Structure 1
Amino acid sequence: MIQRIDWQGTPAYTLENDHLIVSVCPAIGNNVYSIWDKTLQRELLRVPTSPSDMADAPVQYGTPILMPPNRIRAGRFELNGQTYQFDINHATGHHIHGMLRSQPWSVVQTGEKDGALFITSSIDLSGDANVQRQYPHALELEVTYVLQGAALSHRLNVRNKGSRPAPFGYGLHTWFLLNGEPDKWTLQVPVSGIWELDADNIPLGHIAPLGSLSAITEGLRLEGQNLDTVFQIGSGNPCLAVLSGEDLELRYSGSSAFKQWVIYTKGEARDFVCLEPYTWVTNAPNIDLPADVTGVQSIAPGAALELEVKLELSYKS
Structure 2
Amino acid sequence: MTQNTAFEGTYQGEHAVWLRWGSYEAAIIPEIGGNLIAFRDTEKGYRFLREPEEGKIDLFKAAPGVFGIPVLYPPNRYEDGRFPWRGEEYRLPVNEAKTGNHLHGYLHTSPWQVEDYGQTKQESYVTVKNVIDENSETYKYLPFKFTVKLKYSLSDHGLSQQLFVHNNGDKEMPCLFAFHTAINAPFAPDSEEKDYLVKATIGQRWELDSRMLPTGSFQPLSEDEKKLQGEGVNPFFEEMDNHYTAVPQNGRNRMELTDTRLGVTFVYDVGTSYKQWMIWNNEARGNFFCPEPQINLVNAPNVDLPVDEIGLFSLAPGEVWEETARFYVK
Q: Which amino acid aligns with 2:9?
A: I
TM superposition shift of 1:77: 2.0
Residue 150 of structure 1 and its aligned partner are, at CA, apart by 4.3
Task: Select 2:242's aligned residue among 229, 252, 262.
Answer: 229
Q: What's the Cα RMSD here? A: 1.7
Letter in structure 1 aligned against 2:318: G
> Does the CA contact (< 8 Å) of 2:242 and 2:280 recur in 1?
yes
SS in 2 for 1:17: strand
TM-score (norm 2): 0.90
Please tell me whether the aligned partners of residues 11 and 27 of structure 2 are also in contact (alpha carbons under 8 angstroms): no
What is the identity, as a one-letter code, of the residue corresponding to 1:232? Answer: T
Query: What does the per-residue CA deviation read over 1:57-77, in whole Å, with 9 as the maximum and x for residues that have no partner?
Result: 110211111111111111102
Show the counterpart of 2:253. 239
Residue range with higher mean Cα deviation, 229-238 or 7-16: 229-238
Instruction: Give the aligned partner of residue 117 of structure 2.
Output: 110
Equivalent residue, structure 2, for 1:192: 203
1:24-35 counterparts in 2 under 5 A?
Answer: 24-35=28-39
Q: Cα deviations across residues 68-112 of structure 1 (Å, max 9, x unaligned)?
A: 111111110212112111111112211101110111111111112
Of 79, 83, 87, which aligns to 1:81? 87
Cα contact 1:188–1:219 (8 A) shared by 2: yes
The residue correspondences of 1:34-45 to structure 2 (distance < 5 A) are 34-45=38-49
Aligned residues of 1:182 and 1:269 also touching (Cα < 8 A): no
Structure 2 portions without partners, runs of 5+: none
* Structure-2 change in CA distance of 1:44 and 1:133 (3 Å): same
TM-score by length of 1: 0.94
Of 69, 72, 75, the match for 1:63: 69
**Map of 1:132 onto structure 2:** 139
Displacement after TM superposition at 1:263 (Å): 1.1
Instruction: Find the counterpart in structure 2 of residue 93 from structure 1.
Output: 100
Name structure 1 gaps, 5 residues minimum. none
In structure 2, C-alpha distance between the alignment counterparts of 1:271 and 1:235, rounded to whole Å: 27
Residue 127 of structure 1: how far off its partner (Å)? 4.2
> 2:126 — aligned with what?
119
- Give the Cα separation in 2 of the matches to 1:168 and 1:206: 24
Given that 2:75 and 2:298 are in contact with CA atoms closer than 8 Å, whether structure 1 keeps it comes out as: yes
Give 3-state SS (helix, strand or coil) of 1:231's partner.
strand
Structure 1 residue 128, shift from structure 2 partner = 2.6
8 Å Cα contact 2:172-2:314 kept in structure 1: yes
Give the number of equivalent residue pairs.
314
Are positions 1:160 and 2:174 aligned together?
no
Residue 292 of structure 1 aligns to a residue whose secondary structure is helix
Tell me if structure 1 keeps the 8 A contact 2:247–2:253.
Answer: no
